[in-house]
Amino acid sequence: MRILNGHSPSIEETASKYLSNAAGQVKKEAKDEKSFAEILSKKQAEGEESQELKFSKHASNRLNDRNIELSDSQLDRLQAGMQRANRKGINETLVIMDQLAFIVNAKNNTVITAMDQTEADENVFTNIDGAVIV
């Protein structure tokens, strides 16, 4: 509490000061609010942008280590497979394409790892909940 010139503010003065500031803040925050439709369209636009297929650092390293180069057509097919898995509610999916195998997190649109099928030990894949062949 501040005492000015031997006078301390009353409870009413203090309450008035803080309540008027709080009311001003509420009005300011309400002014900055966006409508539900604006927020929804923004989130949908962000979702469309995030549909782009990404490669984790691990997957990028595996592609380089195994000399796997993907054509634009293969990237499109891989992305289409990821989107099919996503529509079916599959989170961690195995995508098989042209003797290549990819583990993809469909929810995050991210390739986790990549390998040539001949390199897969015994053709056993773990920690997946679905598979897509493209």
CA 69 centroid distance within chain: 26
* Cα–Cα distance, 28 to 3 (Å, whole number): 30
Residue 53 has what pLDDT?
Answer: 87
Half-sphere exposure of residue 51: CA atoms within 13 angstroms, side-chain side: 15
Q: List the chain domain ranges.
A: 11-47, 52-133
Give the angle subtended at the CA of 79 by the CAs of 77 and 83, to the nearest 5°: 115
CATH code of domain 52-133: 3.30.2310
* Cα–Cα distance, 118 to 101 (Å, whole number): 10
* Cα–Cα distance, 115 to 3 (Å, whole number): 74
* Torsion angle of C-alpha atoms 44, 46, 52, 55, degrees rounded to 10: -130
pLDDT tens across the length of the chain (134 residues): 566 666 777 778 777 777 765 555 555 555 567 788 888 777 766 665 556 889 999 999 999 998 899 999 999 999 999 989 988 999 999 999 998 999 999 888 999 999 887 776 677 888 899 999 99
CA torsion sign for 33, 36, 37, 38 is positive
Alpha helices by DSSP H, listed for 1-134, are 11-32, 36-49, 57-65, 72-87
